[in-house]
Chain A
Amino acid sequence: MVAKFRAPGMYRAFLFAAYGVALSYAIIWVFRTWYSLDPVFKGEPILELALFLAPLGFLVGLGAFTYWFYWASGKRTLAEDHSGHGAHSWRDYFRINTDHKVIGIQYVVTSFFFFFVGGLFAMLMRAELAQPGRQFVDASTFNGLFSVHASLLIFLFIIPVFAGLANFVLPLMIGAPDMAFPRLNALSFWMLPLAGILMLLSFAAPGGSFASGWTAYAPLSVTAPEGQVFFTIGVQFAGASSIATALNFLVTIITMRAPGMSFFRMPLLVWANFSTSLLVVIATPFIAVSQFMVLFDRALGFNFFEPVRNGDVLMYQHIFWFYSHPAVYIMMLPGFGIISEILAVKSRKPIFGYRMMAFSLLAIVVLGFTVWAHHMFVSGMQDWIRVPMMITTAIIAVPTGIKIFSWLATLWRGVLHLDTPMLFALGFLTMFTLGGISGVMLAIIPFTIHVSDTYFIVAHIHYVLFGGSLFTIFAGVYYWFPKMTGRMYDERLGKLHFWTTFVFFNLTFAPMHVIGIQGMPRRVADYAQQWATWNLLISIASFFLGLSALIFAYNMVASWRGGPKAGSNPWNALTLEWLVTSPPPIFNFDAIPTVVGGPYEYGVPGAVHGVLNDGGAEVPQPAGATAHGGGHGATTQETDH
């Protein structure tokens, strides 16, 4: 038993987390005694310190830092014998594992856990909103519910689930044996559940959970009860996790591509994650800063946001949105990548305008940093900033439009396989277009002055993040399910899931446009009688939408346990992950593959994207000498083998 608490693992992790709490008490005791502060043990400072030290203790106990500690202290580091690769039982998912495929599944399953929790919170909110007046929860709980709902679904679901899917398939797609920094990869994953648990624990705080929205605007967040710091600090862990993963993706993509995999032969999912990682690395430090400033205001009296001491309230919003607008693209670009994969494979055609698809991603990365203040049209900032921000916001619809039109052109004259991933991809195309259209409307300042902070905004972001991001996530999970688990999902349940989700999604969120323009503000527990009917309809639809997610959960669990075995390439796709068995071998490729053509050469007779060099066969010459990849009219090298 003692050995269990000494060896890296869950037991030691919890022990060390307890040490972290004890250390927080000790540090506060030392400092407050030193400065003769009364009382010596004060709740909030101890809490703030413990929220950092307990999770760090947990990570140390789990063994996330062991290798680096050995190295830094000059001890002989443990040789990597690869015994940690692969997962042989469910227990293997609960320890430090450096295998990108295990980490990918850890990411996806963890994020879906938080997806269901966040969705449940939405159901509770809709129960309260079914009728005007207060029936179900009090004001403090309601404000907590929508704050935690958004924080979980943004920071613990959409952002990490994309990182999880990419963790699994991206190294396979570029022909790499793993990510560039496997230990860092494990560390990034393990910070994530900790961030989520911190946010959920906030409900146990005196005064209730954080209740200032996921935006946590100062000065409300500075003066709110202690539950607020669970968000302030939880975000630091989620953000650090994002940044580390993004660096890992960037280095992996730049340095670990298989021979012949030039940038313009990369599948668009790889391009999408390359672009997303650029956004994450540049933008995420800004939200970290904004929350540290709130923390310093609360804990140490820095007065960044206290106007009577020359603090600046609007500064918070500028810093926050300088991250949080690019974050919208962090939550969307990986989905663009997934859709490009699925539409090409399921239409049996090359993606239309491959190079423009790649360039438009990069254009969104650049433009994404020039639009943040459109969230602040009524914030009281300098008037003139609104106009340039309106123009850039409208212009960013151009690269997005290029993508939509190119996907439509990809469908044109293809042979459409209308199975579950494809249905979600097509659902995404239409619903995301609606979200994009309301986005353009929201660029238009006079209209936004009226609808900002109303349900119109709620409708818009759910069309973008649910009809947009979540549909791509579902599409991607169904598409790579056979590769990740080695089994097929149930197609009938998958289609049922799509249709129920599609119908109830629209019934839930479309009416929100109407009540928003009519003047119903967002983030309210109570509303005027005139919106009672609409809200009842929305609530009922949202409960069915919640139920539809259970079909998905059942399908995934049952198919993983007992679905029919999947072959290595059930979709007849060209990209490299389909060249290996399902699930892939422990080191992905027994021999490093060689890439000889573009990733989407469907319909080109005899075209191949990559070949496995398993010793005997002759390696075709990589087409590195010629400039073209899968671009317009590029005649891809045809190879016999």
Chain B
Amino acid sequence: MSEETRRQERTPVLLMVVIGAIASAIGIALGLAIDWFPTKASTQAGPIDNLYDLLIILTVPIFVMVSVIVLFSCWKFRMRPGEENLDGPPIHGNTKLEVVWTAIPAIMLVLICSWAYVKLTDIEQAQANEMRINVTGQQFAWSYEYPQASGKPVKSNILYLPKDRPVRFFVHALDVLHDFWVPAFRMKIDAVPGLTTKYRVTPNRLGTYPVVCAELCGLGHSVMRSTAKVVSPAAFNAWIAKQKAPAGAATAPAGGGGGTAKPTVDAKAVFNDNGCGGCHTLADAGSNGAIGPNLDKVLVGKDATFIKTSIEKPSAFVEKGFQDIMPKTYADTLKPEELDALVTYLGKVAGK
């Protein structure tokens, strides 16, 4: 084929535009139809998910345009036999075109940013009647603290939240960086040693959602998980009231230490709810963590005092071959009866 025939061939620009438009429409439809995000459980989730839809609508046509031009060029302009020594037309540029493809993306991007700024202000806006919750991250567990108007704050290893009540998290870290993230709420922030970082969410859907550490924090990073439970305001108030009740008022015998009291706490649940299984293997609880010592091995033949000390003051004895990285806060976050039940349970089932 000669240069002459090439020049006379019509370039099917119209066909290209039509195919591009159809492909973009299909791409956008697919992009909007796919359920990308996890469950939506906060008022912040909606605006973020919608913003993503907007990004899909704006960006799919750009990718389609680039691909369609590349594919059409491969089809229409590829070298055919006999054209080995042929050159294309010496087009050096076109100022108008270049102004257009500089200006249009610039305008588009400024618009997207402005829209994003508005949404950002929305989701971070202060709300009336905010509840403060202190979140503490440490290798490799989360703990939560609910300051009370009177008396000691309520502590927990499970994040209880009342539905529809705005919450503001004050996030701390005890050792290295962590990142406090509930995917269902969409918001996250690093827990930074030496700083208090904050964000707001308003949970608006009942349910149980994973809490995830999103910032690499060491060996146990992938098991640094906890649970968020969004409950009705009444259930939440009942839970707070129960936590505030004097420790052990209902069950523990005065004097303690005797260990004769029948545990009314489900010790296996205590083990699982506090994330013990993330790091430790314990056959009875079905856990196979390998960050810390295997409890089925190291606890065999150990007495209750050793087990209790190891939970309350993990640094007192560190198994050979392991680092002193177990959280030192269980003495605080576990209630005495939970601790006792856990000690009894571990002494009974370890190695069985």
Contact = CB atoms under 8 A, between A and B. Distances in A.
Contact of B175 (A219, A402, A412, A526): A219
A441 B52 CA distance: 8
Given A380-B190, A415-B88, A518-B38, A220 B217 contact: yes
B314 interface: no
B123 to A, nearest CB: 6
Interface string A199-221: 00000000000011100010110
Given A350-B90, A413-B11, A521 B212 contact: yes
A308 B295 CA distance: 34
Interface stretch (A106-114, A184-192, A600-608): A600-608
Nearest to A454: B214
Contacts of A302: none
Interface string A567-608: 000001000000000000000000000000000011110010
Contacts of B74: 416, 418, 426
A445 interface: yes
A354 B101 contact: no
Interface bracket on B: 35 or more
A391 to B, nearest CB: 5
Given A453-B179, A604-B90, A417 B48 contact: no
Contact of B92 (A213, A414, A521, A630): A630
Contacts of B221: 139, 143, 523-524
B297 to A, nearest CB: 16
B188 A452 contact: yes
A390 B119 CA distance: 13
Given A143-B221, A220-B177, A412 B51 contact: no
Interface of A: 133-134, 138-140, 143, 211-213, 217, 219-220, 223-225, 307-308, 311-314, 347-350, 352-356, 378-380, 383, 386-387, 390-391, 394-395, 397-398, 401-402, 404-406, 408-409, 411-418, 426, 429-430, 433-434, 437, 440-441, 443-447, 449-450, 452-454, 514, 517-519, 521, 523-528, 572, 601-604, 607, 630-634
Contacts of A349: 87-91
The 10 A-B residue pairs with the shortest CB-CB distance, nearest first, are A307-B194, A519-B183, A524-B222, A380-B197, A349-B88, A414-B88, A453-B214, A603-B87, A603-B90, A632-B93
Contact of A602 (B90, B120, B189): B90
Contacts of A447: 48, 51-52, 55, 116
Nearest to B118: A446
A633 B36 contact: no
A412 B94 CA distance: 13
Given A139-B222, A143-B219, A387-B117, A416 B87 contact: no
Contacts of A409: 91, 94, 97
Contacts of B94: 352-353, 409, 632
B195 A402 contact: no
Contacts of A212: 216, 218
22 contacts: A217-B176, A348-B87, A349-B91, A378-B179, A378-B190, A378-B214, A387-B120, A402-B102, A408-B66, A411-B77, A417-B79, A426-B74, A429-B70, A444-B112, A446-B116, A449-B48, A449-B188, A518-B37, A521-B222, A526-B223, A602-B87, A603-B89
B69 interface: yes
Contact of B116 (A143, A353, A390, A401): A390
B62 interface: yes
A429 B66 contact: yes
Contacts of B90: 349-350, 601-604, 607
B43 to A, nearest CB: 13
B212 A220 contact: no
Nearest to A445: B120
Contact of B123 (A134, A405, A446, A526): A446
B188 to A, nearest CB: 5
A430 B62 CA distance: 10
Nearest to B219: A139
Interface of B: 6, 11, 34, 36-38, 47-48, 51-52, 55, 59, 62-63, 66-67, 69-70, 73-74, 77-79, 83, 85-95, 97-98, 101-102, 105-106, 109-110, 112-113, 116-117, 119-120, 123-124, 171, 175-177, 179, 181, 183, 186-195, 197, 210, 212-223, 288, 290-291, 323
Contacts of B177: 217, 219-220, 313
A211 B217 CA distance: 10
Contacts of B78: 415-416, 418
A350 B88 CA distance: 8
Contacts of A391: 110, 113
A223 B91 CA distance: 59
A603 B190 CA distance: 57
Given A349-B91, A440-B109, A632-B93, A380 B192 contact: yes
Contacts of A143: 216, 218-219, 221
A211 B218 CA distance: 7
Contacts of B291: 139
A120 B117 CA distance: 42
A371 to B, nearest CB: 13
Contacts of A312: 194
B192 A313 contact: yes
Given A398-B109, A416-B73, A444-B51, A139 B220 contact: yes
Contacts of A383: 124
A408 B59 contact: no
Nearest to B212: A521
A437 B63 contact: yes
A348 B86 contact: yes
A313 B194 contact: yes
